[in-house]
Amino acid sequence: MILQIVGFKNSGKTTLMSHTIKLLKAHDLTVATVKHHGQYQQDFQDDDITLQKDQVDHMKHFHAGADQSIVQGRVYQQTVTRNEKQSLEEIINESVTIDSDIILVEGFKNAGFDKVVVYTNENERQALAKLSNVQYYMKMNDINAMEHYENWLLTYFKIKGMH
């Protein structure tokens, strides 16, 4: 199952993603996440994600030209891969490598999966109303927004047959 959390910059997407992950983990679900770096602008090559420093060995490999570098620690594994702007479907199919109950996606507004729209004012909501597969609208600064969202999310999973 894939659920997107979308909205404009500084609308609360990352806050809601973190809250959602904690809620799903409390229900013993396996969660993978994908994040779209929305600040990317085609004219600026330097405007990309920040990678680890060159001093760590796997990044020395990557900066030397490796197309993919993987480091395995005692508990964690990290992968850095050189890929020009892939679609969300390509990222999910090629990069999500664990068997997960849910893939949460932050961003990728125009992808076709079920969405939660996060907004801070009515203008943002109206601008995002044209998106496909919107299942829930959440005004982050409403007093009971998180409680209402949690209730909706648990119902959503029951309807989808997950929990």
* Strand order through the sheet with 2-7: 31-35, 102-106, 2-7, 114-119, 134-139
Q: Whole-number mean pLDDT of the chain? A: 82
Residue 66 has pLDDT above 50, yes or no: yes
Residue 160: the pLDDT is: 67
Q: Which fold has domain 2-40+85-159?
A: Rossmann fold (3.40.50)
Tell me the average pLDDT across 8-36. Answer: 91
Tell me the average pLDDT across 99-103. Answer: 88
Q: Burial of 35 by CB count in 10 Å (0-12 exposed, 13-18 middle, 19+ buried)? A: middle
What residue ranges in 2-133 does DSSP mark as E strands? 2-7, 31-35, 68-72, 77-81, 102-106, 114-119
Higher pLDDT, 6 or 53: 6
Give start-end residues of each CATH 3.40.50.300 domain in the chain.
2-40+85-159
Question: Does the pTM exceed 0.85?
Answer: no
Higher pLDDT, 42 or 158: 158
Tell me the average pLDDT across 109-116. Answer: 94
Q: How far is CA 163 from CA 85, 115, 128, 159, 160, in A?
A: 34, 19, 29, 9, 8
Residue 99: the pLDDT is: 84
Residue 40: the pLDDT is: 44
CB of 79 within 8 A of CB of 70?
A: yes
